[in-house]
Amino acid sequence: MKETATVLIVDDEADLLEILRIALTDAGYDCITAGSAEIALGLLSEAPHVDIILSDIRMPEMDGLALIEAIREQFADRTWLQVLFITGHASIESAISALRLDAVDFLHKPIRQEQLL
């Protein structure tokens, strides 16, 4: 039985992606990273063991909200997936949209390590 949760981190900012990966790996999580929503969808097709998705909301091409909508449609059988959003541009509208997609948290950048864990 799997003991460690696997987190898919999605952000178009490479430096932040690496910081989040290091922090979560140091906390005992297995991490997979994606620099875009499109890459994240491809990784999910290949990695059915992802437990948590930590995604930025504002990204070029496909934003985090559209990513989670696509995941909920394409991987509807993965009911265990938990979603946390991160953003540097929080608004009431984006928070409401995140909640409608069953996000478990909505974190504002800059993120403190204790917020993640």
Taken in order 96, 86, 113, 24, the sign of the CA dihedral is positive
CB 83 within 8 A of CB 103: yes
Q: How far apart are CA 114 and CA 94, in angstroms?
A: 23
Total-model pTM: 0.90
Nearest to 10 by CA among 62, 45, 48: 62
pLDDT band at 2 (very low <50, low <70, confident <90, very high): low
Correct CATH for 6-27+37-91+102-116 of 3.30.365.10, 3.40.190.10, 3.10.150.10, 3.40.50.2300: 3.40.50.2300
pLDDT in tens, 21-76: 999 999 999 999 999 999 999 999 998 899 999 999 999 999 999 999 999 999 99
